Amino acid sequence: MTTIRIDSCPICNGRHLIHKLSYTDSISNKTFEILQCNDCGLHITQHTPRLNDMGAFYPSSEAACYQPARCFNDKLLDFLLGKWYKKQVKIVCRESQRYSGVLLEMGCKMGYFANAMRNSGWITHAVEYDTTAREYANKRFMLQIEEGGKLFNINPRSYNVVVAWDSLGEAVDINRTLEKLTQLIVKDGVLMIAFHNAQSDNATHYGSWWSGWKAPRKRWHLTPQAFETLAEKHNLEIVCRQHSAQRAFITTLTSEWNQSSAKGIIKPLLRSIAQAFKKQQNPTYYIYTLKNKPQ
Ligand SMILES: [Zn+2]
Q: What angle do CA 281, 284, 288 make, to 5 degrees?
A: 100
Q: What is the mean pLDDT of residues 93-116?
A: 96
**Chain segment 23-69, per-residue pLDDT in tens:** 999 889 999 999 999 999 999 999 999 998 998 898 876 655 566 66
Tell me if 193 is assigned to some domain: yes
Tell me if 5 is assigned to some domain: no
Tell me if 240 is assigned to some domain: yes
Q: How many whole angstroms from 169 Cα to the centroid of ligand 1?
A: 14
Tell me if 25 is assigned to some domain: no
**Chain segment 158-198, per-residue pLDDT in tens:** 999 999 999 999 999 999 999 999 999 999 999 999 999 99
Tell me if 144 is assigned to some domain: yes
pLDDT at residue 184, as a whole number:
98
Q: How many whole angstroms from 226 Cα to the centroid of ligand 1?
A: 7
CATH code, domain with 162: 3.40.50.150
Q: Give the largest Cα separation in the chain, rounded.
A: 56
Q: Cβ neighbours of residue 90 under 8 Å, at least 6 residues apart? A: none
Tell me if 73 is assigned to some domain: yes
Q: What is the mean pLDDT of residues 197-215?
A: 95
Q: How many domains does the chain have?
A: 1
Q: How many whole angstroms from 291 Cα to the centroid of ligand 1?
A: 23
Tell me if 15 is assigned to some domain: no
pLDDT band at 94 (very low <50, low <70, confident <90, very high): very high
Which residue range forms the structural domain that includes residue 238?
60-202+231-292
Q: What is the mean pLDDT of residues 224-230?
A: 98
Q: How many whole angstroms from 12 Cα to the centroid of ligand 1?
A: 4
Pick from 60-69, 122-131, 263-272 the range whose average pLDDT is largest: 122-131
Average pLDDT of the chain to the nearest whole number = 92
Q: How many whole angstroms from 281 Cα to the centroid of ligand 1?
A: 21
Tell me if 3 is assigned to some domain: no
What whole-number distance in Å separates Cα of residue 84 and Cα of residue 277?
17
Q: Cβ neighbours of residue 27 under 8 Å, at least 6 residues apart? A: 57, 58, 59, 64
What whole-number distance in Å separates Cα of residue 121 and Cα of residue 182?
23
Q: How many whole angstroms from 228 Cα to the centroid of ligand 1?
A: 11
